[in-house]
Structure 1
Amino acid sequence: MNHLRCAGALLAVALLSGCVASVAPASATLHGDPAHPAQTQAWVDTKLYFGLGLFDDAASGVSEQRWRDFLDAEVTPRFPDGLSVVDVYGQWQGKGQTAPERLRSKMLVIDYPDTAENRAKVEAIRAAWKQRTGDQSVLRVTQPAEVSF
Structure 2
Amino acid sequence: MNARPLATLALLLALLAGCAAPGAVRHDGATHPAQAQGWVDTRLYFGLGPADQPQQGISEQAWREFLDREVTPRFPDGLSVLDVYGQWQGAQQPSPERLRSKLLVIDYPNTPANRAKVEAIRTAWKRRTGDQSVLRVTQPADVSF
* Category of TM-score, reference length = shorter chain: 0.7 to 0.9
Q: Specify which of 103, 118, 140 is matched with residue 144 of structure 1.
A: 140
Percent of aligned positions with the same letter in both sequences? 76
How far does residue 37 in structure 1 lie from its aligned partner after superposition? 3.4
Residue segments in structure 2 that go unaligned for 5+ positions in a row: 1-19, 27-31
Please list the CA deviations of residues 53-85 of structure 1 after superposition, one character each: whole Å capped at 9, or x if unmatched. Answer: 000000000000000000000000000000000
Amino acid paired to 1:57 = Q
Q: Give the TM-score, by structure 2 length.
A: 0.79
4+ aligned runs moved over 2 Å, structure 1? 32-38
Partner residue, 1:33:
24
1:115 to 111, 121, 124: 111
Distance across 2 between alignment mates of 1:143 and 1:125: 18
Whichever of the two has the greater Rg, that structure is 1
Amino acid paired to 2:49: G
Superposed counterparts of 1:1-12, under 5 Å = none
Counterpart among 59, 62, 86 of residue 58 in structure 2:
62
Q: How many residues align?
A: 119
**CA gap 1:78/1:47 in 2 versus in 1, 3 angstroms:** same
Structure 2 equivalent of residue 90 of structure 1: 86
2-side partners of 1:110 and 1:123: how far apart? 13
Aligned to 2:6: none
Q: Does 1:44 align with 2:35?
A: no
Alignment of 1:16-31 (within 5 A): none
For 1:77, which of 70, 73, 76 is the aligned residue? 73
* 1:133 paired to 2:124: no
> Which residue, 101, 107, 132 being the options, matches 2:97?
101
- RMSD of the alignment, in Å? 1.5
- Greater strand proportion: 2
Shift of 1:34: 6.6
Structure 1 alignment gaps of length 5 or more: 1-29
SS at match of 2:105: strand
Q: How big is each residue's C-alpha offset from its partner over 1:89-125, in whole Å with a ceiling of 9 and x where there is no partner?
A: 0000012000000000000000000000000000000
